Structure 1
Amino acid sequence: MAIKNKLFDGIVIFVHVVKSGSFTLAADVSGHSTSYISKEVNKLEARLGVRLLHRTTRSLSLTPEGKLYFQLCQQIIEDADQAENAITGNQGEPQGRLRISSPISYGLSNLSPVLSRFTEKYQKIQLELELNDRKVDLISDGFDVVIRATQHLEDSSLISRRITQSEALVLASPGYLAKHGVPKHPYELSQHKIICYSNLKQPNIWLFQDHNGDSIQVHVKSQVLTNNSTLEIALAVADQGIFRVPRFALKDELETGTLVELFSDWPKPPIGVYMVYPSRKHMSAKVRSFIDFVMQELGD
């Protein structure tokens, strides 16, 4: 494959502009004039055939294409820096920006105490953690590692490593059950107020497995539909309905009796917690250190 002579022209300048937020500051950082910086970005946009930056007299902002290109360019620069360090023998300790995405409940309950120890050990890593229950795109959203909790991890070109396995529990408050009755069979859930998790593909279809191993589909009616498990727990504690949540999302609600598990003698659907990262032959030191640290601290 022929290598384009100007493939990398303007990339470092473009990243300087985005990080500094202005052409003037980028010129100061890079040692060039402001006019040179502007011309380099213009040439880069012309070569790519897309606008990367919205320019006004007071501010700069990335276009959607610019946002994606910036994230990819950052990774290219970091990879090039890593390659140079590997050749010169100057690898040193892991460093640089590390972007992680995690579900909110898992991030707060399990990951938070681990991250404080990780940042203490690797002080040259600038950690960016986004807690979000939506399914992010690892590549286009610019993350190094994404943590996912799911029953079925989709096949892809990405690499996944299971941290641990939890289980899905069906729960309600004693107050709700006293008022509306205790369902004895999952099918009876269709007659109850249900709090559903909207990030699932089919929030209103709950799957169970009976003692014979046969699958059961229960169609529930959502009284509340939300994308946040913390809100689900709060609503259930306030006697607002029955919900289903991974065990790791709970604190001490079961131990204190604030919530009661339903169908406790039924098989519980397993929820795997995975780290997902790009399929790269040569993993950066910062990503490797994070994966190894999390596995050591939380892995089963």
Structure 2
Amino acid sequence: MRQYTKGKRYLCNGLGAGPGNNKEAYMDKLAGLTAFVNVAEAESFAKAAREMGLSRSQVNRRVIALEDELGVTLLARTTRHVSLTPTGQAFYLRAKSILNDLREAETAIQSDHAEPQGDLKINAPMSFGTMHLSSALADFMTRYPNIRVHLVLDDRFVDPVSEGFDITVRVAETREAPSLIEHTIVEAKRLLCASPGYLQQHGRPRTIKELASRPCLHYGNLASGYTWRLRRGDAPETSVRVNGVLCCNNAEALRDAAVAGLGVALLPTFIAGPELQTGRLVSVLPEYQAPPVYLSLLYPPNRHLAARVRVFVKFMQARFGDQPYWDLFS
């Protein structure tokens, strides 16, 4: 096995070289990336060579040149088997993404009517993902059968660049990443609501000040803590510190608690909509509005040309834009 010291030159963003970069060097690196990815997936130099229409020695030279360029060992070789080293595993994921993006960029430039394909890694909030996105993705994948979707549901705010997501679905008040491209799909309304049984037992609050003494169901991820910010029409915003009898970082759990009559909740309509439609929850102080939050799609600028990202954005705009189905209640 070759021993490496610090490499003389490095790949910049996967393809670029250091000073003196030229077309031939660029093409050599691209050939090395392609050979490496094919060998990693085939777990064999011979099989990869057959699939690429090259000799085994040609493929081997390209991978060795790539390893020499990086100053690392990417593949562990034995007489019968080839496997990725830990460094090779990490580099494989990046190299595969680079080659996919390059193919997608070429396809997008050559024809906007080409069939989108490739891997689409999506991050989304848990509740929106389980209640709405999962069924939407089933329709999306039926429409685009050559796109392979990897969906990760997580309520924390992930960094799509460092964590390798093609696109991130967000429900938030403001844009917090100016380095990302953002498409706002629709405003996600939030309403005060409670069950009819709760209102029958405790009475309907007439002012937001009354909420301070009422049992309330509080979302634990709000930056404002136990304070709810509300506005009536064009009047200045009013804040009230609520009596949080239940604090939870999952709004579906708060909705269920509200249905059970445990208190007043401030919920997005994409979660409370079905219960508001059936009357299991009713709006409280409907003249007051919480600051708007927006359903948005964010992705790194280098994903902009990827056809699989562009068709997903258009699909989400058609599916959830304008007046979403969860707001259809009286």
> Is 2:238 the counterpart of 1:216?
yes
* Separation (CA, whole Å) in 1 of partners of 2:44 and 2:213: 62
Q: TM-score, normalised by structure 1?
A: 0.76
Within 1, Cα distance between the matches of 2:199 and 2:193?
10
| Structure-2 separation of matches of 1:202 and 1:15 | 48
**SS of residue paired to 1:77:** helix
- In the alignment, what sits opposite 2:320? 298
- Match of residue 159 from structure 1: 181
Q: Of 47, 51, 54, which aligns to 2:71?
A: 47
Q: What is the 5 A alignment of 1:206-285?
A: 206-280=228-302, 283-285=305-307
Of 279-288 and 84-93, the range deviating more from structure 2? 84-93
Contact 1:13 1:26 in 2 (8 A): no
Q: How many residues align?
A: 284
Question: How far apart, CA to CA, are the structure 1 residues paired with 2:264 and 2:182?
Answer: 32
1:31-55 CA distance string (max 9 Å, x none) = 579xx7xx96x9589737xx999xx
**1:76 alignment partner in structure 2:** 98
Deviation at 1:122, TM superposition (A): 1.0
Name the Cα RMSD after superposition: 3.8
Which whole-Å CA distance do the structure 2 matches of 1:207 and 1:104 have between them?
24
| Matches for 1:1-300 after TM superposition, within 5 Å | 2=19, 3=21, 25=43, 30=48, 43=67, 47=71, 71-83=93-105, 85=107, 92-280=114-302, 283-300=305-322
Go from structure 1 to structure 2 and tell me whether the alpha carbon gap of 1:88 and 1:279 turns closer, same or farther (over 3 Å shift).
Answer: closer
Q: Which fold has the larger relative contact order, with Cα–Cα distance below 8 Å and residues 6 or more apart in sequence?
A: 1
User: Which one-letter code corresponds to 1:239 in the other structure?
Assistant: G
Distance 2:193 2:203 in 1: 13
Sort the Cα spacing of 1:222 and 1:144 in 2 relative to 1 into closer, same or farther, 3 A.
same
- Quote how far apart the aligned CAs of 1:71 are: 4.8
Which one-letter code corresponds to 1:189 in the other structure?
L
Tell which deviates more after alignment, 1-10 or 196-205: 1-10
Percent of aligned positions with the same letter in both sequences? 33
Q: For 2:215, give the aligned amino acid.
A: K
What secondary structure, in the 3-state scheme, does the structure 1 residue paired with 2:266 have?
strand
Q: Specify the SS of the correspondent of 2:288.
A: coil
* Offset, 1:70: 5.4
TM-score, normalising length from structure 2? 0.70
**For structure 1, which segment, 161-170 or 72-81, has the greater mean C-alpha deviation from structure 2 after superposition?**
72-81
Contact 2:191 2:289 in 1 (8 A): no
Q: Distance in 2 between matches of 1:272 and 1:101?
A: 16
Is the alpha carbon distance of 1:226 and 1:43 closer, same or farther for their aligned partners in structure 2, counting shifts above 3 Å? Answer: farther
Amino acid in the other structure paired with 2:296: Y
CA distance 1:127–1:256, change in 2 (3 Å)? same
Give the aligned residue type for 1:299: G
Tell me, in whole angstroms, the C-alpha distance in 2 between the residues paired with 1:136 and 1:277. 12
| Residues 144-169 of structure 1 deviation map (CA, whole Å, 9 limit, x = unaligned) | 11111122222511111111123111
Larger C-alpha radius of gyration, 1 or 2?
2
- Alpha-carbon separation, structure 2, partners of 1:196 and 1:70: 44
Deviates more, 1:208-217 or 1:164-173: 208-217
One-letter amino acid of the counterpart of residue 120, structure 2: L
Q: What letter corresponds to residue 130 of structure 1 in structure 2?
A: V
Q: Is the 8 A contact 1:10 1:44 kept in 2?
A: no
Distance in structure 2 (CA, Å) of the matches to 1:258 and 1:45: 64
In structure 2, stretches of 5+ residues that fail to align are 1-17, 50-55, 76-82, 323-330
Q: Counterpart in 2 of 1:56?
A: none
Whole-angstrom CA distance in 2 between matches of 1:295 and 1:45: 44
List runs of 5+ in structure 1 lacking aligned partners.
Answer: 54-58
Name the CA shift for 1:61/1:237 in 2 (closer, same or farther; >3 Å): farther
